[in-house]
Amino acid sequence: MLELVDLRKTFVGSTPGLMGRRARGQSTADHAQTLAIDGVSLQVTEGELFTLLGPSGCGKTTTLRSVAGLETPDSGEIRVGDRVVFSRGKGHDRNVPANRRRLGMVFQSYAIWPHMTVFENAAFPLRVLPRGERPSKAQVEERVMRVLTTLELDSMAGRPATKLSGGQQQRLALARALAVQPALMLLDEPLSNLDARLRESLRLELKRLQHELGITSIYVTHDQVEALAISSRIAVMSGGRIMQVGEPRDIYLAPANRFVAEFIGKSNIFDATVRRRASEDTIEVESPIGLLAVRWQSDDLTTGSPCLLAVRPESIGLMGGPPDQGVPNGMPGRVVERSFLGDAVDHIVAVGDRELLVRLPATSQFPAESRVTVTIDPASPTVIAR
81 forms part of the interface with other proteins (CB under 8 A): no
226 forms part of the interface with other proteins (CB under 8 A): no
**Residue from 2, 42, 78, 112 binding other proteins (CB under 8 A):** 112
CB of 106 to other proteins, least distance (A): 9
Buried b (16+ CB within 10 A) or exposed e, 318-342: beeeebeeeeebbbebebeebeeee
d(CA 52, CA 238): 10
DSSP string, 76-110: EEEEETTEEEEEESSSS-EE--GGGS--EEE-TTT
Backbone angles phi, psi at 62, to 5 degrees: -60, -40
Sole window of 62-70, 141-149, 308-316, 341-349 interacting with other proteins (rule: CB under 8 A): 62-70
Helix ranges (DSSP H) in 179-223: 196-213
347 forms part of the interface with other proteins (CB under 8 A): no
Q: CB-wise, 22 or 208, nearer to other proteins?
A: 22
Cβ neighbours, 10 Å, residue 210: 21
181 forms part of the interface with other proteins (CB under 8 A): no
Q: Is 233 within 8 Å of 245 (Cβ atoms)?
A: yes
Q: CB-wise, 33 or 109, nearer to other proteins?
A: 109
Largest CA distance in the chain: 80
CB of 114 to other proteins, least distance (A): 4
254 forms part of the interface with other proteins (CB under 8 A): no
Sign of CA dihedral 272, 275, 279, 280: positive
d(CA 258, CA 193): 30
Region 120-179 residues binding other proteins, contact defined as CB under 8 A:
124-125, 128-129, 160-162, 166, 169, 176
Region 84-103 residues binding other proteins, contact defined as CB under 8 A:
97-103
108 forms part of the interface with other proteins (CB under 8 A): yes
CB of 211 to other proteins, least distance (A): 23
Q: CB-wise, 18 or 357, nearer to other proteins?
A: 18
Q: Is 317 within 8 Å of 377 (Cβ atoms)?
A: yes
Residue 160 has what DSSP assignment? B
31 forms part of the interface with other proteins (CB under 8 A): no
Q: Is 227 within 8 Å of 248 (Cβ atoms)?
A: yes
Q: CB-wise, 28 or 201, nearer to other proteins?
A: 28
Number of residues that bind other proteins (CB under 8 A): 52
**Residue from 54, 104, 246, 333 binding other proteins (CB under 8 A):** 104
Please report, as ranges, the residues that interact with other proteins according to CB under 8 A: 16-20, 22-26, 28, 61, 65, 68-72, 97-105, 107-115, 124-125, 128-129, 160-162, 166, 169, 176, 180, 186, 188-189, 192-193
